[in-house]
Amino acid sequence: MKLAFRALVKFIFGLILVGALLFLPAGSIEYLNGWLFIGLLFVPMLILGVVLLIKAPELLEKRISVKEKQNTQKGVVAVSGLLFVAGFVVAGLDFRFVWSEVPIWVVIASSVILLISYALYAEVTRENAYLSRTVEVQENQKVIDTGLYGIVRHPMYAVTIWLFLSIPLVLGSWWALLCFAPYIVVIVVRILNEEKVLEAGLEGYTEYKKRVKYRLLPFIW
DSSP H or E segment with residue 166: helix 155-170
Does 135 have pLDDT greater than 50? no
Would you place residue 68 in the very low, low, confident or very high pLDDT band (cuts 50, 70, 90)?
A: low
- Can you tell me the distance from the alpha carbon of 140 to that of 212, in angstroms, rounded to the nearest whole number? 22
CATH class belonging to 2-211 = mainly alpha
In sequence order, the 6+-apart residues with CB closer than 8 A to the CB of 136 are 69, 197
Coil, strand or helix: which one is 215?
Answer: coil
DSSP 149: G
pLDDT tens-digit profile of 159-216?
A: 989 998 999 999 999 999 999 999 998 888 888 888 888 888 778 888 888 888 889 8
Can you tell me the mean pLDDT for 80-96?
93
Say if residue 1 is exposed, middle or buried (CB neighbours under 10 Å; 0-12, 13-18, 19+): exposed
